Amino acid sequence: MKILAIGRNYIDHAKELNNPVPKKPVIFSKPETSLLKNNNPFYYPDFTKDLHYEAEIVVKINKLGKNISEKFANRYYNEIGIGIDFTARDLQSELKQKGLPWDLAKGFDNSAPISNFINISDIKDISKLSFSLDINNKTVQEGNTKDMIFSIDKIIAFVSQYFTLKIGDLIFTGTPKGVGPINIGDKLIAKIEGKEMLNFEIK
């Protein structure tokens, strides 16, 4: 399986990192070994001193597809979850400056903690879904899918022009504003519509 992710999909987040608001989706990928499941702890890696959290809604593909039109994109997923796109911001800044790929900054082992998935039929409206991240019981990020620059269906239509989507593939759909550093000892809780989905510790 593969994990695709979109960068700068919320205007407020693009602005907080002084990035332009993109006209086309900014796509990158994370390897399967980046997944961290079952609320297992995350061990702070020693190659960064500025590791940032980015809470994101994650879509799970449930049907094989290529060149999917936006109109039919909703037939290709029926579960969502929430995940963290951990980013070694210091490493990413260095790579960005040199025009190099972000893989080392975003694709390292366990850089993608994810929750269990819930069926979309259990959700009122996926285009107006609220989600949040608490660190040590303080809410640091609050987002709503209505503020996405590129909707889930638009992302699927876009990426499937380039990549065949397969059952089980995951798409990280971008983070709202409020990203920041994590520290050893922090407790992270991510919620969808106020419901706790992900709960793990930084060690």
Which residues are near Mg ion by CB under 5 A?
Answer: 54, 85, 175
Contact 203, 41 (CB under 8 A): yes
Whichever of 54 and 153 has its CB closer to Mg ion, that residue is: 54
Contact 17, 42 (CB under 8 A): no
Give me the least distance between CB of 69 and Mg ion, in Å please: 26
Structure tokens at 101: 């790929």
Whichever of 54 and 134 has its CB closer to Mg ion, that residue is: 54
Give me the least distance between CB of 130 and Mg ion, in Å please: 18
Give me the least distance between CB of 45 and Mg ion, in Å please: 17
The residue number with the shortest CB distance to Mg ion is 85
Whichever of 85 and 169 has its CB closer to Mg ion, that residue is: 85
Q: Which residues contact 112 (CB under 8 A, 6 or more apart)?
A: 3, 30, 34, 35, 36, 83, 84, 85, 86, 172
Whichever of 65 and 135 has its CB closer to Mg ion, that residue is: 135
Q: Which residues contact 18 (CB under 8 A, 6 or more apart)?
A: none
Give me the least distance between CB of 8 and Mg ion, in Å please: 8
Whichever of 65 and 83 has its CB closer to Mg ion, that residue is: 83
Give me the least distance between CB of 72 and Mg ion, in Å please: 26
DSSP string, 33-100: GGEE-TT--BPPPTT-S-EEE-EEEEEEE-S-BSS--GGGGGGGEEEEEEEE--EEHHHHHHHHHTT-
